[in-house]
Chain A
């Protein structure tokens, strides 16, 4: 029997991300033009980026339609009211050097992702991850690096508009022991100096733990080392560069160390759903939550030339994985409020209503507070205070000023 997911925004989000939607409205079509997905707000403020390329959505039961003044999504058996998420205003603006802000900062809901350099050295060595979406797929690009000033202008525009409260800086693989943090250092420092906002950093795991300490000391409020695949053999096959030059064990060790350094709930790692059996993803969830790391489960979105998705992959199969995630995060007492309102992934918070209907609305006052402007400022203030208390500069013990 065909399942109906329209009643629950969490499961509907998963189903939509897996199957995509067709578009039966010229305005939405124009809206989604050129993009691989369209940002839609489902009930209960659940943000989703739904794949809408024709190739992907041929067999999808879902259609977005105009209904009165608003929009609905229907699967033929029922409907849910949805709204289009307007593109941030800053998307239409440019930096003083003439670069469109939309090229530098990509809006993903609570996060705006900035990748100052599109370069990932795995490509130059022919050992790139086989599923790589291509954000970094620019071979040999040497000069396309956004300057600190350009990034700062983008961040200022994002924050002024209130588009996102968290700036997510990421970088691809670069040779060197630091995992890429040295490259991101001037960006993090400048953002932290100029703006009172939270910064999440995604790099590759550095060779030594001291770089992780430094990442925290620099001002990163959250860190991500994305393992992506938990299964050992599949990791070796799908991520040849990561396996060869970093190693799965180093990912695990680095995440474990980071979880001891960063506050609870601010260390995360992606496990891509759809590239390995769900059982293996669940083992990954067990491992990560066991060491205090929040697993983030994006669903693999295949492109034409990379049909790596395992089959069959249905929402019925995936939902238990997300439920498992929610339970494990709760059991291990990991704060999952940091990872929320993301259009590209279903967060533990969104799965909560699937597991426990009563819990669904319980924390909403606190959650809403942290979504608000004043809440974000509070989170930033607490994070900064915590860093001030915990970071000790061990350069000059004789010059200590009484730090315990």
Chain B
């Protein structure tokens, strides 16, 4: 049991407790008002309801007023109830690939942890990179980022997650309390997110954007061209992200070097690698190879789940051993968020927001670029990265044609920011896994994430204005 005692005067605690019903009442009234007010021009009633449900869930997610999963379940109930999507469509969306990828990641992580392999790897990481607490954090951060250059950021998060859980246990970090624990898991999430935008390989969104660009205009952007254009942003964001984490979560462990002797002792205590560790290790390795080589064609979830099946078929793990590692709350949360994202998309709400915002602010190509990138960054918190690109990019390419701007430049304004999701755990599996560790809360993630989102947007636009012309990517003005 890990408890915390609220030592504030009892009357303050009581007053705060009574705020809770008031908070829900206010939320209900606002929600009711929102869905009953006349729809603005161009927005369908279903779209209006979708926005209302999204805002309601956003408040509940960030305030943590009810468990994350329950907010998602509420969304699943409201979406068909308010006629945004049909029942059939709504529940079918829960069967999304991303949800099953997260499930696979939890099961794989469970197998790795149960076998003791993650413990061994974590101890070795501490032994090798744990010269100082800061060095260890930097190693985790860079490892997550650099690996995400070459393989899906989701897969990197899934791979490193069990090691970090084990590492936190070895360092006796207290979930929810330890700054070092928060730093560690945010380093994982941010490392994956930032690293994931560096190349075409970090996720499906950039290839998808390139596909849309090619289909609509015939133009293309090469792998190297894209990476050269984006890499400075990635490098600066990594530096800024690490510095920000240092400020937000000052290191509160005396020194991991003390752990050196303990690590050595514990490694000795672990003895030789067991058969189970070897087996799980081989399957994990094959999974990673599968993610790299077949992730695009088969899908990351299919690769992960195939490995899960192999684990059970070969009898390497039993369901009883794995069950406790599967965080169903996070899976429910993610499923609900996907339904919500689709509701925004299919009801026309997302397109209404995009057209409204771009239409209002599209004075010059420069402002369009800035607005589109900002819109993308915020939409990607609520919708899947691919959905944002699918909804936003065709509109943006259309506008660029009208403004006689190179559509490939405008493609960057959607493709790159669509990966920069720092604020919410439901925006990307890396964030969801980090929150599922229980070391960070949604509020922790949102606090630093908001700053990172603003910094990313400003840097991205500065880069477009001053760096791209130097490497021959056309000017906006």
> Which residues of A pack against B, CB within 8 Å?
210, 213-214, 216-217, 260-261, 386, 389-402, 404
Contacts and interface: CB of A to CB of B under 8 A. Distances in A.
A214 B3 CA distance: 6
B438 A397 contact: yes
B65 interface: yes
Contacts of A216: 3, 5
B13 interface: yes
Given A389-B10, A390-B6, 8 more contacts: A389-B6, A393-B1, A393-B2, A395-B2, A397-B175, A397-B176, A397-B440, A398-B425
B14 interface: yes
B66 interface: yes
Contact of A398 (B6, B20, B68): B68
Nearest to B67: A399
Interface string B165-180: 0000000001111000
Contact of B7 (A390, A394, A397, A398): A390
A392 B5 contact: yes
A389 B2 contact: no
Contact of B438 (A217, A260, A261, A395): A395
Contacts of B68: 398-399
Contacts of A260: 7
Interface in B56-112: 63-69
A397 B61 CA distance: 12
B3 A394 contact: yes
Interface in B1-59: 1-7, 10, 13-14, 16-17, 20
Contacts of A394: 2-4, 174-177
Contacts of B2: 210, 393-395
B330 interface: yes
Contacts of B17: 389, 404
Contacts of B14: 389
Given A389-B14, A389-B17, A404-B17, A395 B436 contact: no
B329 A399 contact: yes
Contacts of A402: 20, 63-66
B13 A217 contact: no
Given A398-B329, A401-B67, A217 B10 contact: no
Contact of B1 (A214, A397, A398, A399): A214
Dominant secondary structure of chain B at its interface with chain A: mixed
B10 A400 contact: no
Given A395-B175, A398-B441, A390 B5 contact: yes
B430 interface: no
A401 B10 CA distance: 19
Interface residues of B, number: 33
B435 interface: yes
B177 A392 contact: no
B164 to A, nearest CB: 16
Contact of A392 (B3, B425, B438, B440): B3
A401 B329 CA distance: 13
Contacts of B176: 394-395, 397
B34 to A, nearest CB: 22
A400 B435 CA distance: 12
B442 interface: yes
A392 B4 contact: yes
B64 A400 contact: yes
Nearest to B20: A402
B188 to A, nearest CB: 16
B27 to A, nearest CB: 12
Of A213, A401, A404, the most chain B CB neighbours within 10 A belong to A404
Nearest to B13: A389
Given A397-B441, A398-B436, A398-B442, A392 B6 contact: yes
Interface string B200-232: 000000000000000000000000000000000
Given A399-B329, A402-B20, A404-B17, A213 B66 contact: no
Closest 5 CB pairs of A and B: A217-B3, A397-B441, A402-B65, A397-B176, A392-B4
A400 B6 contact: no
Contacts of B69: 399
B175 A261 contact: no
A400 B65 CA distance: 7
A310 to B, nearest CB: 39
Contacts of B20: 402
B441 A400 contact: yes
Interface string B424-456: 010000000001101011100000000000000
A398 B3 contact: no
Contacts of A217: 1, 3, 5
Contacts of B6: 389-392, 404
Nearest to A400: B64
Contacts of A393: 1-4
Contact of B5 (A391, A398, A399, A404): A391
A378 to B, nearest CB: 16
Interface in B295-334: 329-330
A239 B2 CA distance: 32
Nearest to A216: B5
Contacts of B177: 394
Contacts of B5: 213, 216-217, 261, 390-392
Contacts of B329: 398-399
A400 B60 CA distance: 11
Contacts of B67: 398-401
A303 to B, nearest CB: 40
11 contacts: A210-B3, A216-B5, A261-B7, A392-B4, A393-B3, A394-B175, A394-B177, A395-B438, A396-B438, A397-B64, A402-B66
B438 A213 contact: no
A391 B4 CA distance: 6
A386 B6 CA distance: 10
A244 B196 CA distance: 55
Contacts of A399: 67-69, 329
A393 B177 CA distance: 12
B3 A213 contact: yes
Interface in B129-183: 174-177
B442 A404 contact: no
Contact of A404 (B1, B13, B438): B13
B275 to A, nearest CB: 33
Contacts of A210: 2-3
B262 to A, nearest CB: 16
A390 B441 contact: no
Nearest to B12: A404
Nearest to A389: B13
A391 B3 contact: yes
Contacts of A386: 10
Contact of B16 (A213, A214, A404): A404
Nearest to A209: B5
Nearest to A185: B1
Nearest to B6: A390
A52 B330 CA distance: 68
Nearest to B23: A402
A127 B96 CA distance: 66
Nearest to B439: A397
A395 B437 CA distance: 10
Nearest to B330: A398
A362 B442 CA distance: 53
Nearest to B60: A402
Q: Which of A213, A392, A395, A400 has the most CB of B within 10 A?
A: A400
A398 B71 CA distance: 12
Contact of A213 (B4, B425, B435): B4
B72 to A, nearest CB: 12
A390 B11 CA distance: 11
Greatest chain B CB density within 10 A among A261, A397, A399, A404 is at: A397
A390 B13 contact: yes
